[in-house]
Amino acid sequence: MSVLISLLIGLLFGCGLIVSGMSNPAKVLAFLDLAGDWDPSLALVMAGAIAVGLLAFRVAGRRQTSLRGKPLQMPTARQIDRRLLIGSALFGIGWGLAGICPGPALVLLGTGADKGLVFVFAMLAGMAIFTAFERLSRARQAQSVPDN
């Protein structure tokens, strides 16, 4: 049942991306083109998403379990660190160059668009590279800790 609910929520999210035009890289790039033919419609989509998100987080913050009775785990990190800044910058650069972010990339992949395939491949490669660097970093930290 959980897989079916996840599938339905994913389909609803994908339909929302299609209806809002967020799966169209040209529309996203037009929003980012402040000096050219700017399309403000993405700002309205974002404002709506933020409003829904704020409401959902407020409700979730008052609960201990999800609507399905599973434990609810809210994010606890509150500091802005170097990793967050670098990750945000990389995301923004990629979004600005391609006009695609992960959710719309999956929609594009589902439509068979070449851009979606290339983006998802690059995204998975980036995730694999990050994971490899994290493992290497942890291994180096473990080696540098003196034994007592």
Measured CA to CA, the distance from residue 114 to residue 99 in angstroms comes to: 14
Distances in Å between the Cα of 77 and the Cα atoms of 80, 84, 97 are: 9, 11, 29
Rounded to the nearest angstrom, the gap between the alpha carbon of residue 67 and the centroid of all alpha carbons in its chain is 23
For 126, the domain range is: 2-144
Looking at every residue in the chain, the average pLDDT score rounds to 89
What local confidence, expressed as pLDDT, does residue 2 receive? 79
Q: Band of the pLDDT at 148, cuts 50, 70, 90?
A: low
Residue-wise pLDDT for 70-101, tens only, equals 888 888 888 999 989 999 999 999 899 999 99
Stretch 10-36: mean pLDDT, rounded?
A: 89
- Number of structural domains the chain divides into: 1
Measured CA to CA, the distance from residue 52 to residue 37 in angstroms comes to: 28
Measured CA to CA, the distance from residue 123 to residue 101 in angstroms comes to: 9
Q: Specify whether the CB–CB gap between 91 and 84 falls below 8 A.
A: no
Q: Is the pLDDT of residue 17 over 70?
A: yes
> What is the DSSP secondary structure assignment for residue 113, as one 8-state letter?
-
Residue-wise pLDDT for 91-132, tens only, equals 999 899 999 999 899 999 988 999 999 999 999 999 999 999
* Percentage of residues of the chain with pLDDT beyond 70: 97
What angle do helix axes 114-144 and 102-111 make, rounded to 10 degrees? 140
- 71 beta partners: 65
What angle do helix axes 41-61 and 25-32 make, rounded to 10 degrees? 100
Q: Is the pLDDT of residue 147 over 70?
A: no
What local confidence, expressed as pLDDT, does residue 74 receive? 85
Does residue 69 come out as left (phi exceeding 0), alpha (psi in the -120 to 50 range) or beta? left
What local confidence, expressed as pLDDT, does residue 69 receive? 83
pTM for the predicted model, two decimal places: 0.74
What local confidence, expressed as pLDDT, does residue 76 receive? 87
Q: Specify whether the CB–CB gap between 106 and 116 falls below 8 A.
A: yes
